[in-house]
């Protein structure tokens, strides 16, 4: 999934909405889709790492400023070298923009092996948990969505707009 790759390094929209829709359409393929998303996210994370490592003054700063992620970026600075693995692993599980973690990992020159290991663990766990939920609760969720598609679509659109505004103005 290209969105999983791009979101880990430069794209503002997370892959979750598309992942959920695709997982609901074919719950039997949810784990395969999760593995693809996790793998592409880790590969995209390597691009983000490279941006921070070698291109921060040009591309990295532009990405951080474009999405107004300066405060999130500064929060990582305090103890990133000491807690790098755990920060990468924990932030990789959350919906916090993973690109901040990947770029900052490169800026601070976190050991690449630690970065890759933490990314693989976090992103695989995150997508596999979501896939498991879709696989076992998918039919019930699908029935609910079919009955309430207009409301569900409105919530997704509102959430995306709100997320973009929060990133831009916070």
Q: Where are the alpha helices (DSSP H) in 26-148?
A: 30-54, 61-66, 70-76, 80-91, 98-107, 112-147
In whole angstroms, what is the distance from residue 70 CA to residue 45 CA? 19
Paired tokens of 42: 């880790």
pTM of the model: 0.72
Q: Domain spans of the chain?
A: 2-169
* Angle (CA) 120 12 138, round 5°: 65
Q: What is the pLDDT of residues 37-91, one digit of tens each?
A: 999 999 999 999 999 899 888 887 887 788 777 777 777 666 676 777 888 888 7
In whole angstroms, what is the distance from residue 46 CA to residue 40 CA? 10
Dihedral class, residue 5 (left if φ above 0, else alpha if ψ from -120 to 50, else beta): alpha
Q: What is the pLDDT of residues 79-133, one digit of tens each?
A: 676 777 888 888 777 767 788 889 888 988 888 999 999 999 999 998 898 888 8
Paired tokens of 43: 């590969």
């Amino acid at each position: 999934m290209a969105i999983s790759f791009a979101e880990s390094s430069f794209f503002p929209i997370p892959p979750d909405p598309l992942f959920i829709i695709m997982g609901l359409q074919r719950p039997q393929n949810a784990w395969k889709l999760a593995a693809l998303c996790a793998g592409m996210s880790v590969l995209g994370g390597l691009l983000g790492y490279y941006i921070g490592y070698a291109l921060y003054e040009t591309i990295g700063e532009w990405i951080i400023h474009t999405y107004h992620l300066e405060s999130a970026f500064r929060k990582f600075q305090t103890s990133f070298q000491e807690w790098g693995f755990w920060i990468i692993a924990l932030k990789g599980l959350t919906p916090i923009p993973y690109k901040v973690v990947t770029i900052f990992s490169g800026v601070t020159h976190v050991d690449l092996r630690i970065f890759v290991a933490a990314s693989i663990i976090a992103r695989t766990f995150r997508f596999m948990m979501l896939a498991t939920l879709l696989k076992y609760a998918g039919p019930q969720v699908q029935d609910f969505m079919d009955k309430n598609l207009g409301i569900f679509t409105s919530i997704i659109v509102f959430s995306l707009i709100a997320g973009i505004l929060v990133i831009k103005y916070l």
